Chain A
Amino acid sequence: MKLVTAVVKPFKLDEVKVAVKAAGVTGMTVTQARGFGHTGGHIEIYRGKEYEFDFVDKIRVECVCTDELVDAVIEAIVNAARTDTVGDGVAWVTDIEHVVRIRTNERGPAAL
């Protein structure tokens, strides 16, 4: 099983959710996050003074899926989150050793 993590633009979350669901993923966790990539930060002005905000608002999306589904999920996220401008974010895949559904104590793919 794999953990797919993606850091995307906040206004793209809904599209990502719909696309990932359509790809067959059963669950997803999102976190409000801040970060920088190639774009760097941005400027805000308060009382005439400029402040550099290094970290830009992002949403971190995490979902666990079976090995067969990974490519479809990545494809779905990439298509949904892309705006073709800098700061579209990144996604990565990590191996998962073990998954347990807490209520039923089911293990492995059945837990998803």
Chain B
Amino acid sequence: MLYAATNIPYPQWLNSGDNSWQMISATLVGLMSLPGLAVLYGGLVRKKWIVNTMLMVFTGFSLTLLVWMLWGYNMAFGELSHFGPTGSFWSGFIGHFKPLTSAGAVQGQAVSGANSLVPYHFPTATLAYFQFAFAAITPLLFLGGLVGRLKFKAWLLIVPLWITMVYCVNAALLWGGGFFSQKGAVDFAGGYVIHLSAGVAAFVGAAIVGPRRWQDRENAFPSNLMMVAIGAGILWMGWNGFNGGGPFYAGVDAASAVLNTNVAAACGVLTWLVMDMMFSRQKKATFLGALNGMLCGLVAITPSAGWVNGTGAILVGLISASIVWVAWNFLSKVRPFNKVDDAMGVIYTHGVAGLVGGLLVGILADPGMVTYGVSGSNYKGEGSFRVAGWFYGHSFHQLWEQFLAALWIIGYTAVGTTVVFTLVKWLVSGLRESDEDLRDGDIAIHEEEAFPEPTFGEPVSSPSHLHPDNV
């Protein structure tokens, strides 16, 4: 038979709309880290810590991608290892420790335990990059609790170890088709796996690393609020990919998730502002307060973005920002919270907000919001995938599952983070830079500074032959 080859751009199983949206979503999530968190943190820390902080963001991102390709993706989202009998905890604990590097693996149709209902319409490369962007932002979020004293070398070890031992396990359990997802706990786009976990890791990590110098804590004013505005704006808009990519199809639920995400963020901003203006000691509306509210709304809507209706999204923003405001202002005054120097308050804006959002799924999820429908006359009919909270399902079942999953995330992340930090402390003999380096910051640690002005005017006499540019 003669070959009459007709070239086609992609295999039959691929849908260009789904693939495009998934890759755009992944990129939006990536932008939240680079440059989003880099400039947000850079603007929030003191001038002498800008370079160190931004470098940790960029290196953390790079390290996670390498780990992801070599074993992380398959541990979290590959086939489960089944260490125990089917249905048991150990059966749905973790995937296989193997790389994702062959052409066949990368270009094949994406398959994941996270969704066994509808086949994915994009390749594994897309799914792996999308899930990588989520994995990468998690250590960068808990970095917020550790800036201003963590040893740079320690960070380079903490990221790969934490991703492997903590993130991959939580992701497999809730998203990779593991135990908690089998039980019925849900996390739309990472309220638990990412934010609650990052909040706990920041707190436990900060406790182990120890506080910043007292001089730095006393003078912890931000270096540049305009940079903070850029970073926070990128976070908000990037969240359209974070939650909008959650359904894995460029469909109805992706659109709802994007809309809900923005509604919750706006409500969070306004709630925090009003609380500040009415109940804070100074009664002032502050920009950084508004951004805290924005984060609360964004984080809290993450576990429920495509499962709550418009009213639900408003309530999520309102409730999460109120609760976190109270926690930020009062919980921070009592033990153990007043004993740990969580530099940016990650335990509140990510930990508490993620927990509140995850539990609110069990209350506010509307079964009228369908993630995956059924073919035939009734799209929302029997067999469609949706979630019912207490308001609509009149049962506490979902709330209970959410509660159990939260307990696991908090407990396991705390233990896992302790193990990782203790191990690294031993490996690089100490988790803190030396006292002198802490006093001088960027210049001492990297021999760079954020706004260098090494000399006034022009160099004198003749060009120095010692300078590498003068050949």
Contacts and interface: CB of A to CB of B under 8 A. Distances in A.
B289 interface: yes
Interface stretch (A18-26, A33-41, A48-56, A96-104): A48-56
Interface stretch (B217-225, B260-268, B431-439, B455-463): B217-225
A19 to B, nearest CB: 32
B219 A47 contact: no
B46 to A, nearest CB: 11
Contacts of A84: none
B286 A45 contact: yes
Nearest to B287: A46
B288 interface: yes
A45 B220 contact: no
B70 to A, nearest CB: 38
Contact of A48 (B219, B221, B222, B329): B329
A51 B276 CA distance: 17
Interface in B261-285: 276, 280, 282, 284
A17 B266 CA distance: 46
Contacts of B286: 45-48
Interface in A51-72: 51
A51 B219 contact: yes
Interface in B71-91: none
Q: Looking at A43, A44, A48, A51, which has the most chain B CB atoms within 10 Å of its CB?
A: A48
A45 B221 CA distance: 9
Contacts of A49: 220
B282 to A, nearest CB: 6
B292 interface: yes
Nearest to B349: A47
B288 A47 contact: yes
Contacts of B289: 47-48
B328 A48 contact: yes
Nearest to B218: A51
Interface residues on B, range: 10 to 19
B282 A51 contact: no
Interface residues of A, number: 9
B345 interface: yes
Contact of B280 (A44, A48, A51): A48
Contacts of B219: 51
B222 to A, nearest CB: 6
B284 A45 contact: yes
B352 to A, nearest CB: 15
Contact of B292 (A43, A44, A47, A51): A47
Contact of B345 (A43, A45, A47, A51): A47
B295 to A, nearest CB: 11
B364 to A, nearest CB: 28
Interface string B279-322: 01010101011001000000000000000000000000000000
A54 B379 CA distance: 66
Contact of A46 (B221, B276, B329): B221
A59 to B, nearest CB: 21
Contacts of B345: 47
A102 to B, nearest CB: 16
A46 B282 contact: no
Interface of B: 219-222, 276, 280, 282, 284, 286, 288-289, 292, 328-329, 345
6 contacts: A43-B282, A45-B282, A45-B284, A46-B221, A48-B329, A51-B219
